[in-house]
Amino acid sequence: MPYPKTFHQRLAGKVAIVTGAGSQGHGVGTGKAIACVFAREGASVCLVDQHEARAAETLAMIHEADGNAFVCAADVTDSDACARIVAATVERYGALHVLVNNVGVAGAGGRFDNLDEASWDRIIDVNLKSAFLMSRSAAPRLIADGGGSVVNVSSTAGIRSHGSAAYGSSKAGMIALTRELAVAYGRDGMRANAIAPGHILTPMVESMLDDESRERRRKIAPLGIEGDAWDVASAALFLASDEARFITGACLPVDGGVTEIAALCAYELMQL
């Protein structure tokens, strides 16, 4: 879908943190899209990225649309850095209502014996540990400001095997972490939900695909179209908004239906 043109101030007066708010390479990744949509919907947004220049590009897009945001360069695998992000956001805006744990890195596929321990540790740390650390730091403030919402960006690789042991495990862990947050903090008014994007074209994904692979991904899903970062941002907006006030512990696939199709049926679709 194209960059949305119509907005309804669904996050007016809200303060949000979005991790991984920059994009790797040209184009729009999920973090950049989520941050831009949140700002256009009235939120004040802390843009977190380890690469300050990437987050600065997102900031420029938000400022061009008269949105409110600032950049916080940090490594979210470090607990002290996560605490500083929350503190900086509250100091600047006076509150915190939404946390989006979006940051993530991909991992090579293949058999376990081809996966070294350092690569496993890095993927688990960036994709899963960071969400734990950010949620732990943000939860007290979210509760103090009315409960708030945590949105975790997982993947269909956390629901079905995609042939990448570390990446799939980290994203499955993200779904489990979401359930635990929802149960542990529900009576405090805090909601937690996950999004499982699948077959979404982002700059990071595009760098790993050739034309044939990209076409195969498109054809295998029931809708037969390709998703993009704006599709994920729309789902994140809904889950972060008060419209989802009675939804917690859920995992919403944004995947064109690919996780709901059996292998043989998917094979037949690819022949069309």
Rounded mean pLDDT, 84-110: 95
- pLDDT beyond 80 at 241: yes
pLDDT in the model for residue 1: 66
Per-residue pLDDT reduced to its tens digit, 67-78: 999 999 999 999
Per residue in 116-127, pLDDT tens?
A: 999 999 999 999
What fold is seen in the domain 15-209+225-258?
A: Rossmann fold (3.40.50)
Task: Please give the pLDDT value at position 269.
Answer: 85
Q: Rounded mean pLDDT of 185-193?
A: 98
If pLDDT is split at 50, 70 and 90, which confidence band does 196 have?
very high
Helix %, strand %, coil % for the chain, to 5? 50, 15, 35
Across the chain, mean pLDDT equals 94
Q: What is the pLDDT of residues 30-71, one digit of tens each?
A: 999 999 999 999 999 999 999 999 999 999 999 999 999 999
Q: Which of 3, 93, 167, 185 is catalytic?
A: 167
Helices (H), 41-164: 52-64, 79-93, 117-124, 130-144
In single-letter form, the type of residue at position 51 comes to: H
Distance of CA 11 to the CA centre of its chain: 17
pTM over 0.75: yes
- In this prediction, residue 237 has a pLDDT band, given cuts at 50, 70 and 90, of very high
Distance CA 212, CA 221 (A): 15
Parallel, antiparallel, or unpaired: how do β-strands 44-49 and 68-73 relate? parallel
Rounded Cα distance between 83 and 263, Å, is: 44
Buried b (16+ CB within 10 A) or exposed e, 35-47: bbbbbbbbbbbbb
Domain boundaries, the chain: 15-209+225-258
Which pair of tokens denotes residue 9?
């101030």
Residue 167 is among the residues annotated as catalytic for this protein: yes
Helix axis angle, 117-124 relative to 165-185, nearest 10°? 30
Would the pLDDT of 175 be above 70? yes
